[in-house]
Structure 1
Amino acid sequence: NVYRDTRKENESEMEVAGIADVYKIFSSAGESSVQDLIGAVGDSVTFPISVPVSGNIIYNSNTVGQVLNKQSDTELSEKFVNRLQWVSQSGFFTLSDLRTDDSGLYTVESTKEQKGKQDYQLEVY
């Protein structure tokens, strides 16, 4: 008899598809909303979306840091020289020695592998 019970295989496929759909829903929901970040003058803030391979960080419509194939350039803007870092182990951008004029809209985008985009409103007090 050639009959084979494929229910288990189909259930696994449906489970994986379901997880992927949930991930897409959360990803797209995250893209449309702005997350608030708050920091104190002199402290650091880490933008909580990972850029593991390639992507960028944008401040007020200007690219201020980028990662291309795990190589970073965080000195694209005089304002952030020696204060913006990309940590290769985590993929996170961190801005240190915060100043009040760092407040504003930031966008972090991962363009390879774990693709994603998130807007952040940073308020430094």
Structure 2
Amino acid sequence: MDKMRSLIFFMVMSSFDTLEIKDNLTATEGGSITLPAPVVKLGFLLYGGEVLAQLKNKDIDFYEKSFRNRLLWNSSTGLLTLTDLQKNDSGIYGIQSKKGNVFTVSYKLSVYECVHQPSVKASAVSADSCTLVCLVEKGDETTLLWYRGEERVNQSSSDLSLSLTLHKQDFSSIFKCVAANPAEEKSVSINAAVLCGQNNTEEKGYDHGRVGLILISALSILTIASFITWMFVMKKCRKGDSQSQGR
């Protein structure tokens, strides 16, 4: 059996010696990747100079046990999928189809940490300007970007924070901070008017107006009540005077 595998290894590897990489693939830890080249009838999967598996008769013969529960072969489409990826799964993968559509191809896979969710806080807030600060935990090749709508307005390739200074005319816009690496991205949308306190200012102004309205209403009611009380007292006094004169 070992001699047979050695022969298979030699025959398969000889065709990969001068093979160029067809494409670069990216994925995240814990995720999965489907290799684009289909093996429908008979073929091999290689990784880092080792034969991982032989594909034959809709079944997989594993040469490397660590991939036994992580390599799936869809015998209908012929596509291979690697699951539960780890960073040490990065490397060169080769696929060789020996029957039907005969080909030999290789791919470079890079597995990255998952991107952390960014967060945003406001600083240096005034009536005319505001600074937004986007923060993210450190990760592989993480880049921070600021967008106003669909327009990119700022970018950092290495820092874990990225500031964006807004002026009063920008407060009505929606901004988005994006944390990204070559495999994925995550973002958070910001209403500048809310974060920079404009809504709070308007709300306070509204409260002052409402308080003023309440005070005016209360004074009006008090004035009317006082007038009614005065009229009642005057009427009572006139009635008393009339009764005194009658006697």
Q: Confirm or deny a common fold (TM above 0.5).
A: yes
The structure carrying a bigger helix percent of its residues is 2
For residue 49 of structure 2, what is the aligned residue in structure 1?
61
| Corresponding pairs, count | 94
Gaps in structure 2 of 5+ consecutive residues: 1-18, 113-247
C-alpha contact 2:47 2:93 (8 A) present in aligned 1: yes
Report the Cα distance in structure 2 between the residues aligned to 1:72 and 1:102, rounded to whole angstroms: 19
For residue 94 of structure 2, what is the aligned residue in structure 1?
107
Shift of 1:81: 2.0
For residue 83 of structure 1, what is the aligned residue in structure 2?
70
Report the Cα distance in structure 1 between the residues aligned to 2:69 and 2:23, rounded to whole angstroms: 25
Q: Name the aligned partner's letter for residue 46 of structure 2.
A: I
Aligned structure 1 segments of 4 or more residues deviating by more than 6 angstroms: none
Shift of 1:65: 1.5
Q: Secondary structure at the match of 1:79?
A: helix
For residue 46 of structure 1, what is the aligned residue in structure 2?
34
For residue 59 of structure 2, what is the aligned residue in structure 1?
71
1:17-72 per-position Cα deviation (integer Å, ceiling 9, x unaligned): xxxxxxxxxxxxxx644310101001100000000000010001111111123332
Report the Cα distance in structure 2 between the residues aligned to 1:64 and 1:33, rounded to whole angstroms: 18
C-alpha contact 2:21 2:108 (8 A) present in aligned 1: no
Report the Cα distance in structure 2 between the residues aligned to 1:48 and 1:62, rounded to whole angstroms: 20
Q: Which stretch of structure 1 is more off in the superposition, 43-52 or 75-84?
A: 75-84
Percent of residue pairs identical: 35
Gaps in structure 1 of 5+ consecutive residues: 1-30
Q: Highest relative contact order (Cα 8 Å, sep 6+), 1 or 2?
A: 1
Q: Which stretch of structure 1 is more off in the superposition, 32-41 or 44-53?
A: 32-41
Report the Cα distance in structure 1 between the residues aligned to 2:65 and 2:56, rounded to whole angstroms: 20
Report the Cα distance in structure 2 between the residues aligned to 1:56 and 1:87, rounded to whole angstroms: 14
Higher CA-based Rg: 2
Q: Secondary structure at the match of 1:67?
A: strand
Shift of 1:118: 1.1
